[in-house]
Amino acid sequence: MTAGRLRPLLYLSGTVLFWGTSFVAIKTAYSGFSPMMVMWLRMTVASLVFLPFWRRVPRPQRRTGDWRFLGLAVLFIPCLYYLLEAFAVRFTTSSQAGVVSATMPLMVAAAAWVFLRERLSWQSAVGIGVSIAGVAVLSTAGVAQESAPAPALGNLLELAAMMAAAGSTVTVKHLSDRYDPWLLTGLQAAVGVAFFGPLAIASGPTDWLAVSPAAWGAVLYLGTACSLGAFGLYNSALKLMPASRAALAINLIPAVALLAGWVVLGESLSALQLAACFLIVGAVVFAEISGRLPAEEPAAP
């Protein structure tokens, strides 16, 4: 395998590791902070880490109308994605949220069909329907527990977060030829600081001295690895390969999330929920393996 083909795979491997463990990190951070405070802190950490490298990032080649796509990119991520996921992980387990994230590749395929005029195969259409049905089974079979007080609501919010992530993938791919991926990642982090700041203040005061080292460590990990690192690596992969192929890596996140939730938080799934997990992942794998990927990246509209 040539270095040119190996590099995007390495980018995606880091993305899967960081995103797959982010659900556990969020749960841990919630032990000391409110959801909105966690989101604001992780965006602040990501921005502070990125700031020293700002001048080293190549300047973009701007075109008229780019502001619309930049606006959509930051609306989807961090605003909608993090807002929805913040409450999703509060109401469901990190394991279930990770499994629901497996629907993102199919969301990308659907978004590319609508907005980039890419062909949507019948396999993808079937996969979308079956995976959503699997999410419904996973949610309705969930039993309220301390770590998941409302699993149905949490899984539905995580599904909406995946729609926002798919929208971001399509818009970032459109801009990736002229905007450095790390510039886009830094911009998303900076917007996140401004967006979640008022929400963090409105969520109530924080007893900073009472926050455990584990919660602080989780916030630092979320900001550096899961926000700046994971999105920077994913945006870098989008620059080097088609969006539909880059999104395939999301299929591996459920395995990482399930393993991390079991090892770190002691989470478990019922037999019916486990079957729903296999249904979701199986539908995604069927859609991606049986459907033919385009040989060339389609031209932007």
Q: How many domains does the chain have?
A: 1
**Residue 301 forms part of a structural domain:** no
Contact 292, 124 (CB under 8 A): no
**Residue 300 forms part of a structural domain:** no
pTM: 0.75
Residue-wise pLDDT for 213-233, tens only, equals: 999 999 999 999 999 999 899
Contact 189, 78 (CB under 8 A): yes
**Residue 296 forms part of a structural domain:** no
**Residue 295 forms part of a structural domain:** no
Say if residue 125 is exposed, middle or buried (CB neighbours under 10 Å; 0-12, 13-18, 19+). middle
E strand or H helix at 195 = helix 181-202
Q: Which residue has the higher pLDDT, 136 or 208?
A: 208
Q: What is the rounded CA–CA span in Å between residue 163 and residue 178?
A: 24
Tally of CB atoms within 10 A around 286? 16
**Residue 234 forms part of a structural domain:** yes
133 pLDDT band, cuts 50/70/90, is confident
Residue-wise pLDDT for 52-69, tens only, equals: 998 899 989 888 889 999
C-alpha closest to that of 173 among 287, 295, 299, 14: 299
**Both ends of the chain: CA-CA distance in Å?**
32
Residue-wise pLDDT for 182-196, tens only, equals: 999 999 999 999 999
Q: What is the rounded CA–CA span in Å between residue 53 and residue 232?
A: 13
Spatial CB neighbours of 248, under 8 Å, sequence gap ≥ 6 = 105, 288
Token pair of 216, please? 């602080």
Integer CA distances (angstroms), 200 to 15, 33, 185, 290, in order: 27, 10, 21, 45
145 pLDDT band, cuts 50/70/90, is low
Q: What is the rounded CA–CA span in Å between residue 160 and residue 80?
A: 9
Say if residue 298 is exposed, middle or buried (CB neighbours under 10 Å; 0-12, 13-18, 19+). middle
47 pLDDT band, cuts 50/70/90, is very high
**Residue 88 forms part of a structural domain:** yes
Domain encompassing residue 122: 3-290
**Residue 11 forms part of a structural domain:** yes
Q: Which residue has the higher pLDDT, 117 or 90?
A: 90
**Residue 192 forms part of a structural domain:** yes
